[in-house]
Amino acid sequence: MKALVTRKIGMTSAINDNGAAIAITLLSATPNTVTQTKSTEDDGYSAVQVGFESSKQLRKAQVGHAKAAKVTPKIMREFRITQLPEDLKVGDQISADLFSVGDKVDVTGVSKGKGFAGVIKRHNFQRGRKTHGGRSYRRPGSIGSMYPQRIFPGKKMAGHMGAEKVTTKRLTVALVDPELNVIGVAGSVPGPKKGVVLLREAK
């Protein structure tokens, strides 16, 4: 199982083997602790639940849940896997050296919130003409005036933009530093600095 909960540090650049500068996103990969394992026989599916970082302000239910792993995780996430590894048990730690340079990974995070945005910024609509009497510049235009006398859900309109779960697929691991617990991924990663990022091996 190649999966980690990390936190975004920021971006930097590096020179690759061809001499070209590439953008790298640095992720803080503090060791994850296995807090629970789920099997097909007991739970209906196979998964591994890991805890990330630590906190003193946990609910009693969370403290009791993580008691077997002897940790007080601030963040807990679950990764589904096809088959549960036999050597993996509650309390084990997963660190940055799980990945190696060149691995392909899927990165999941919550994108930056943009607030309330219009259709041009949110959906790349074209603006209306500013000549020949045009008065509709950044408006959405007609949204259906006759049938069916209502607006279908999902209609592209102005509204809250960003702050949603985004997965960027098949990025390349460009840097792994087990001593500093840092993983570098070539390219951009969704979310702001200090945002929680899930890193898993690409299928």
Tens of pLDDT along the chain (203 residues) come to 799 999 999 999 999 888 999 999 999 999 999 999 999 999 999 999 999 999 999 999 999 999 999 999 999 999 999 888 888 899 999 999 999 999 999 999 999 999 999 999 999 999 999 999 999 999 999 888 788 889 999 999 999 999 999 999 999 999 999 999 999 999 999 999 999 999 999 98
> Rounded to two decimals, what is the model's pTM?
0.86
* Closest alpha carbon to 191 in 167, 155, 157, 160: 167
Place of tokens 């949110």: 122
All domains of the chain in start order, with CATH: 3-113+164-201 (2.40.30.10), 114-161 (no CATH)
Per the CB < 8 A criterion, the answer to whether 118 and 126 are in contact is no
Per the CB < 8 A criterion, the answer to whether 198 and 3 are in contact is yes
Rounded CA-CA distance 169/14 in Å is 21
Three-state secondary structure call for residue 25: strand
Beta-sheet pairing, 104-110 with 115-117: unpaired
